[in-house]
Amino acid sequence: MTRRIGILTGGGDCPGLNAVIRAVVRRAEHFDVSVFGFRNGWRGVLDSTVERLDRRSTQGILLRGGTVLGTSRTNPISEPDGVARITETLEVHELDGLIVIGGEGTLSASRVLSEEHGVPIIGVPKTIDNDLGGTDFTIGFSTAVDVATDAVDRLHSTAESHNRIMVLELMGRHVGWIATYAGLAGGADAILVPERSFDINKVCRHLKRRHGMGRSFSIVVVAEGAVPAEGTMALPDYETDDFGRPVLGGIANIIGPEIERQTGFETRVTVLGHVQRGGRPNAADRVLGSSLGKAAMDHAAEGNWGIMVGQDGAHVTTASLGEATRELKTVPSEMFETARVFFG
Ligand code: F6P
């Protein structure tokens, strides 16, 4: 019988995390399970920094962005004695298992802890990047797309007034979900994503052709992780984080001047950055967070560990942590082809 569980939010924050925490706590009441929140992701489990969560302490958090538990990019596997410290924390607090709300890095670490060390974990997928398998959408993605689309809309009116090319850089470390959705929703004239390497010379020819047909402005949306075709452009050497992944940002500052040089059109650059991760969750993320939080608690009550809950159409589904993290979920080419129809 599950009696006590821990919960944590790891990796980059996003809108909708508090909806999950609230749902877990509320559903736990039904099973008479006590919930303990760890501070700052895996760091809190390693350091045993924990607080009891109940209806009262989670009241009013549904609308709030970020995470009331705090988060960090701590990789528990690479910490000295990481696994032993995690096991000890679970024992000390007499926890039957953990609900881990995380993205690719946090849930990959969860998979190792679960499969190789027997730590009882249920994953809940969140990341604005939407790159996890085992779910149609991750918590945070929908709100990020709303924010990014608003940015494209706003750039449209100023681009039009000044006869300029606007380059908008959006987040998306390995995949171009946000760029493709916001670019399509906002009517971008070119979208550059990590899934398809781009040739800057071709992009410039396309923009010149467009302007040659009488268009006075263009919007180029680029995912931060977009990759230039070999031999076309050099990118900076990015630093890496605790999980060995590049800390991206700034590709638009290289692309923008090159577009201006090649096309002769005045070009301006916007790097939207963490604005995409901040603020209140939209309705879709509140609903997704609530339903996945409730489902995670249902599975925890049954002792069904080693899985990640996810969305499959209008239903909640489950996948093993291995299946969910095996490969990144990339933007399907048909989606990108739809966006391309409107580049002209
Ligand atoms: O959480 C995903 C993400 O927002 C990526 O899109 C981005 O590359 C990264 O996190 C930024 O991380 P940080 O907040 O650590 O700068």
Name which residue sits closest to atom 13 of ligand 1, judged by CA: 12
Distance 12 CA to ligand 1 centre (A): 6
Label the pairing between strands 165-170 and 218-223. Answer: parallel
Q: What is the mean pLDDT of residues 178-192?
A: 98
In this structure, the residue with its CA closest to atom 10 of ligand 1 is 12
What pLDDT score does 243 carry? 85
pLDDT of residue 19: 98
Residue in 17, 126, 128, 272 to alter for ligand 1 test, most ligand atoms within 8 A of Cβ: 128
State the pLDDT at residue 182: 98
Structure tokens at 92: 């000390």
- As a whole number of angstroms, the distance between CA 334 and CA 327 comes to 19
Q: What spacing in Å lies between the alpha carbon of 339 and ligand 1's midpoint?
A: 24
Residue 7, pLDDT > 90, answer yes
255-285: per-residue pLDDT in tens? Answer: 999 999 999 999 999 999 999 999 999 999 9
**Furthest CA-CA distance within the chain:** 70
Question: Average pLDDT of 118-131?
Answer: 98
pLDDT digits (tens, 9 = 90+) for 148-177: 999 999 999 999 999 899 999 999 999 999
Tell me if 109 sits within 8 A of 77, measured CB to CB: yes
Whether 40 has a pLDDT exceeding 90, the answer reads yes
User: Are 193 and 180 spatial neighbours (Cβ–Cβ below 8 Å)?
Assistant: yes
**Residue 79: both structure tokens together:** 């910490």
pLDDT at residue 236 in the model: 79
In the predicted model, what is the mean pLDDT of the chain? 97
For β-strands 165-170 and 190-192, DSSP reports them as unpaired
Please name the residues in contact with 96: beta carbons below 8 A apart, sequence gap of 6 or more. 2, 3, 4, 5, 120, 300, 303
Sort strands 315-320 and 307-312 into parallel, antiparallel or unpaired: antiparallel
Stretch 288-301: mean pLDDT, rounded? 98
The pLDDT value recorded for residue 222 is: 98
Q: Output the pLDDT for position 204.
A: 98
The mean per-residue pLDDT over the stretch 219-246 comes to 92
Q: What is the mean pLDDT of residues 100-119?
A: 97
Report the pLDDT value the prediction gives residue 244, as an integer from 0 to 100.
87
**pLDDT for the residue numbered 66:** 98
* Catalytic residue set: 129
Nearest CA to ligand 1 atom 15: 12
Reported as a single tens digit per residue, the pLDDT across 194-217 is 999 999 999 999 999 999 999 999
Pocket test for ligand 1, best of 247, 251, 271 (most atoms within 8 A of CB): 247
Residue 126, token pair as written in the block: 């969140």
Q: Is the pLDDT of residue 344 over 80?
A: no
In DSSP notation, 127-173 reads -TT---SSSS--BTHHHHHHHHHHHHHHHHHHHHHHT-EEEEEE--S
Q: How far apart are CA 17 and CA 13, in angstroms?
A: 8
CA pair distance 36, 152, nearest whole angstrom: 41
Q: In the sheet that 97-102 helps form, which strands lie side by side, from edge to edge?
A: 50-53, 34-38, 4-9, 97-102, 121-125, 307-312, 315-320
Are the C-beta atoms of residues 153 and 193 closer than 8 Å to each other?
no
Q: What is the structure's pLDDT at 327?
A: 95
Q: What is the pLDDT of residues 46-105, one digit of tens each?
A: 999 999 999 999 999 999 999 999 999 999 999 999 999 999 999 999 999 999 999 999
Q: What is the mean pLDDT of residues 325-342?
A: 95
How far does the centroid of ligand 1 lie from the alpha carbon of residue 343, in Å? Answer: 28
Tell which one of 43, 129, 169, 242 to mutate to probe ligand 1, the residue whose CB is within 8 A of the most ligand atoms.
Answer: 129
- Ligand 1 geometric centre to CA of 128 (Å): 9
